[in-house]
Amino acid sequence: MAKKGDLLTVREDIRVVDATIRDGGLCNDFRFTDKFVKDLYHANVKAGVDYMEFGYKASKEIFKEENFGKWKFSNDDHIREVVGENDTNLKIAVMADVGRTDFKNDIIPKNESPIDLIRIATYINTIPAAVEMIEDAVKKGYETTINIMAVSKATREDIVSALEIFGKTPVNAFYIVDSYGALYPEQARDLADLYCEIADKYGKSVGVHAHNNQQLAFANTIEAMTHGVSYLDATVDGMGRGAGNCALELLLGFLKNPKYQVQPIIKIIEEHTSALRKQGVKWGYDIPYMLTGQYNTHPRPAISFTNENREDYYNFSNEIFDIING
Amino acid sequence: MAKKGDLLTVREDIRVVDATIRDGGLCNDFRFTDKFVKDLYHANVKAGVDYMEFGYKASKEIFKEENFGKWKFSNDDHIREVVGENDTNLKIAVMADVGRTDFKNDIIPKNESPIDLIRIATYINTIPAAVEMIEDAVKKGYETTINIMAVSKATREDIVSALEIFGKTPVNAFYIVDSYGALYPEQARDLADLYCEIADKYGKSVGVHAHNNQQLAFANTIEAMTHGVSYLDATVDGMGRGAGNCALELLLGFLKNPKYQVQPIIKIIEEHTSALRKQGVKWGYDIPYMLTGQYNTHPRPAISFTNENREDYYNFSNEIFDIING
């Protein structure tokens, strides 16, 4: 596929998606202050961000409300307290995980909700359930994306099969999700080409959600973009599970459309995410995450290492070798 | 130029250059303990690193010895204390800055020195002096590279003129040096193509030295590599001026040649660079460096910000805007 765009031109199809509350919420069990969320909402509006993801629509049967902050569940009325009628150009998104969302009850008709976009997260082996969720959300009036997680572990054949199925649904966009932070730019470009080829056939868009295990989240995001991807996930200060995500401030500084402004996001870093770090909330590149990325495996052991305040990197490098090869 | 290599094959022309003491020395005025330097030397040997840069050959007329650790000057006898006869596959490098090296006296004949490679650092406007240094070092028996700094500020025409001059010298390799951490992967690939085209004509190699202002040092290094660059600079833990460099542990984990091992480097991080951070030595990605990278300017204002322990990112973003546009 031909490269799309260059370093100087504006691509009108680009959609910047701020996933700070949702992916960052995995670092602090979604316990953000109301001020944080409100300040971030207003900063995103000023920064020209296209979508703000508030959190998960998690099932209250599976997860107890007292164990999490409110953005694990993203009740419509909680979102409304932040955005009012949301009379802005910023659209509101939430994530719904296959098998972990009571979508029939918790996702209400769009005309009663402040939410615009339902992002449906699936593994490649739960496609029929994902299709059902897409159809439900579209029937209720929402935009939808399908976020196929852990793509670095999927075969090309499985990806093609999945996208051919999703192409026939009313979903708006296919998402490349590098859950393990394992992709190199060359692979991100190849996947972008593959996703875009099938997306073009069905009139869909493509998105990318990268993790920073190998300090490649930003690089993979912009490289996928130049190969045709238009929905670009990022988080303030890179806040997100494990090694975190593509930093929104890097992405906004790169994009040439003058509607994107980096300074409102820098203010959020100064006033909010820096404070979270000082309070002990942990995310970002570190050696254990680098190793799980290099080994193309789930960051779980690295998250445990970090949470236990361990610093014995060398032991960890042996442990992870044994986990992978043992 | 055709892409060289892929993610699975081994490129025999690759040379990994550890620049930790030299570029990292800019963070602590070269005050490394002898144990650090010795442990790093042995780790580099085990890790299969091809060159270890010890420091600068700085002029003792211009710089006072009492103001710096010994690796500002990299006396041959100090190197000898670390490497002995260096009966290993690891070659020894030092850097000599144009105009700041008393090269006629301080660079002794190769057959009396443990040093293998003299890396000559120049700006694009000091080429005749750089040519003189190349010729002097080659005459004395050394390998040489020419490291053209701040390439993101140079015009294509000036780069071509410079490389055409250096092509006619006996230098072994041309280096792409992204001093400001301003290059995007697309630009790194384009420069790699340009450098390699001229290098091929003259039978030279090409190297890359990246900075991490935009979290792109590793990405730019491997992207330049797949476009034909063979000398790859990196530092342990990314330690280097300002936002630091391409992390050696990322690079070694990426390269497919089984001679490269990441674990000895992880041990150095655990035992040494983590301790330096705790002692207050500062380097690595941070918002002010991101901004100087985005603005394609020298990191000096960001280094001052960091050294003053400032945290008012938003003010800095206004100050740097005024510096650039004022």
CB contact under 8 A, A269 and B287: yes
Q: What is the pTM of this model?
A: 0.97
User: How many angstroms separate the CA atoms of B173 and B158, rounded?
Assistant: 18
pLDDT in tens, B101-127: 999 999 999 999 999 999 999 999 999
Model pLDDT, residue B192 = 98
In a domain, A3, yes or no: no
In a domain, B2, yes or no: no
In this structure, the answer to whether residues B225 and B308 fall within a common structural domain is no
> At residue B6, does pLDDT exceed 80?
no
Whether the CB of B267 is below 8 Å from some CB of chain A: the reply is: yes
Counting one residue from chain A and one from chain B, the pairs whose CB atoms sit within 8 A come to 107
> What percentage of chain B has pLDDT greater than the value 70?
98
Handedness of CA B238, B240, B242, B245 (dihedral sign): negative
In a domain, A181, yes or no: yes
In this structure, the answer to whether residues A24 and A167 fall within a common structural domain is yes
Q: How is chain B split among helix, strand and coil, in percent rounded to 5?
A: 50, 15, 40
> At residue B144, does pLDDT exceed 50?
yes
> At residue A145, does pLDDT exceed 50?
yes
- Pair B203, B173: CB distance under 8 Å: no
Across the range A94-121, mean pLDDT stands at 97
In a domain, B159, yes or no: yes
In a domain, A123, yes or no: yes
In this structure, the answer to whether residues B82 and B106 fall within a common structural domain is yes
In this structure, the answer to whether residues B176 and B307 fall within a common structural domain is no
CB contact under 8 A, A7 and B185: no
A185: chain B residues, CB-CB within 8 Å: 185, 219, 222-223
In this structure, the answer to whether residues A182 and A221 fall within a common structural domain is yes
**Alpha-carbon distance B181 to nearest alpha carbon in chain A (angstroms):** 12
In a domain, B6, yes or no: no
Average pLDDT, chain A: 96
Instruction: Assign A233 a pLDDT band (cuts: 50, 70, 90).
Output: very high
Q: Which residue of A has its CA nearest to B311?
A: A270
Residues 84-103 of B with CB under 8 A from A: none
CB contact under 8 A, A223 and B185: yes
Distance (Å) of CA B161 to CA A75, A234, B11, B200: 63, 40, 29, 15
Of B205, B265, B184, B292, nearest in space to A185 by CA = B184
In a domain, A2, yes or no: no
Q: Which two tokens mark A107?
A: 């996702």
Q: Which two tokens mark B40?
A: 């790093």
pLDDT in tens, B15-58: 999 999 999 999 999 999 999 999 999 999 999 999 999 999 99
In this structure, the answer to whether residues A125 and A149 fall within a common structural domain is yes
User: How many angstroms separate the CA atoms of A208 and A229, rounded?
Assistant: 7
Mutation for A interface: B256, B314, B325, most A CBs within 10 A: B314
In this structure, the answer to whether residues B274 and B292 fall within a common structural domain is no
Whether the CB of B9 is below 8 Å from some CB of chain A: the reply is: no
Across the range B78-98, mean pLDDT stands at 98
**Alpha-carbon distance B56 to nearest alpha carbon in chain A (angstroms):** 28
Model pLDDT, residue B3 = 63
In this structure, the answer to whether residues A159 and A212 fall within a common structural domain is yes
Q: Which two tokens mark A53?
A: 């993801």
Model pLDDT, residue A5 = 66
pLDDT in tens, A282-315: 999 999 999 999 999 999 999 999 999 999 999 9
Q: B159: which residues sit within 8 A by CB, 6+ positions away?
A: B124, B148, B151, B191, B194, B195
Q: Which two tokens mark A222?
A: 């912009």
User: How many angstroms separate the CA atoms of A273 and A253, rounded?
Assistant: 18
Instruction: Assign A324 a pLDDT band (cuts: 50, 70, 90).
Output: confident
B262: chain A residues, CB-CB within 8 Å: 294, 317
> What percentage of chain A has pLDDT greater than the value 90?
94
CB contact under 8 A, A311 and B249: no
- Pair B117, B139: CB distance under 8 Å: no
> What percentage of chain A has pLDDT greater than the value 70?
98
In a domain, A9, yes or no: no
pLDDT in tens, A91-105: 999 999 999 999 999
User: How many angstroms separate the CA atoms of B256 and B240, rounded?
Assistant: 25
Model pLDDT, residue B1 = 47
Whether the CB of A261 is below 8 Å from some CB of chain B: the reply is: no
Q: Which residue of B has its CA nearest to A213?
A: B250
In this structure, the answer to whether residues B306 and B225 fall within a common structural domain is no
Of B211, B188, B268, B180, nearest in space to B23 by CA = B211
What CATH number should be reported for the domain holding residue B109? Answer: 3.20.20.70
In this structure, the answer to whether residues B169 and B216 fall within a common structural domain is yes
| Residue ranges making up the domain that contains A232 | 15-278
Query: Could you report how far apart the first and last alpha carbons of chain B are, in Å?
Result: 40
Q: Which residue of A has its CA nearest to B238?
A: A215
User: How many angstroms separate the CA atoms of B261 and B257, rounded?
Assistant: 9
Which of B185, B187, B287 is closest, CB to CB, to A185?
A: B185
Average pLDDT, chain B: 96
- Pair B145, B231: CB distance under 8 Å: yes
- Pair A56, A31: CB distance under 8 Å: no
- Class of residue B296 by CB neighbours under 10 A (exposed 0-12, middle 13-18, buried 19+): middle
User: How many angstroms separate the CA atoms of A94 and A75, rounded?
Assistant: 10
Q: Which residue of A has its CA nearest to B289?
A: A250
Number of domains, chain B: 2
User: How many angstroms separate the CA atoms of A89 and A103, rounded?
Assistant: 26
* Letter string b/e over residues A79-88, b meaning 16 or more CB atoms within 10 A of that residue's CB: beebbeebee
pLDDT in tens, B217-248: 999 999 999 999 999 999 999 999 999 999 99
> What percentage of chain B has pLDDT greater than the value 90?
94
ipTM, two decimals, is 0.96
In this structure, the answer to whether residues B131 and B83 fall within a common structural domain is yes
In this structure, the answer to whether residues A85 and A118 fall within a common structural domain is yes
Model pLDDT, residue A1 = 47
Q: Which two tokens mark B199?
A: 């290098």
Whether the CB of B268 is below 8 Å from some CB of chain A: the reply is: no
Instruction: Assign A69 a pLDDT band (cuts: 50, 70, 90).
Output: very high
Of B134, B70, B128, nearest in space to B96 by CA = B134
Model pLDDT, residue A323 = 86
Which of B6, B7, B249 is closest, CB to CB, to A287?
A: B249
More confident site: B160 or A6: B160
> At residue A18, does pLDDT exceed 50?
yes
> At residue A2, does pLDDT exceed 60?
no
Q: How is chain A split among helix, strand and coil, in percent rounded to 5?
A: 45, 15, 40
